[in-house]
Amino acid sequence: MKPKPCKTCNKVPSEQDLPNCIYCFSCDAFFCPACTKRQVRKDGDKWMCPFCRQWWNFDSSYLLREKKS
């Protein structure tokens, strides 16, 4: 399965960057790490989707990372 391109910059992330891509559940969109850095809240635990303007927790937005136990 080919990864989706970043909704902001339209670049397809490399396989090693996939765990650092975040996902917006409202927009059904992936965002690369470079584009995400521009949308992070000051305390660093949430990010805002540039399209739907909703705030999301980073923990729930990383779809391809293993959950910490």
27-60 tens-digit pLDDT? 889 899 888 877 777 777 888 888 999 998 888 8
On whether residue 34 sits in a domain, the answer given is: yes
Does residue 38 sit within a domain?
Answer: yes
Nearest to 34 by CA among 55, 17, 58: 17
- Assess contact for 29 and 49: CB atoms under 8 A: yes
Domain CATH for 28:
3.30.40
**Residue 48, in any domain of the structure:** yes
Q: Is residue 68 part of a domain?
A: no
Domain that holds residue 47: 1-63
Q: Does 69 fall in a domain?
A: no
Has residue 15 been placed in a domain? yes
Predicted TM-score (pTM) of this structure? 0.74
Report the number of distinct structural domains present in the chain: 1
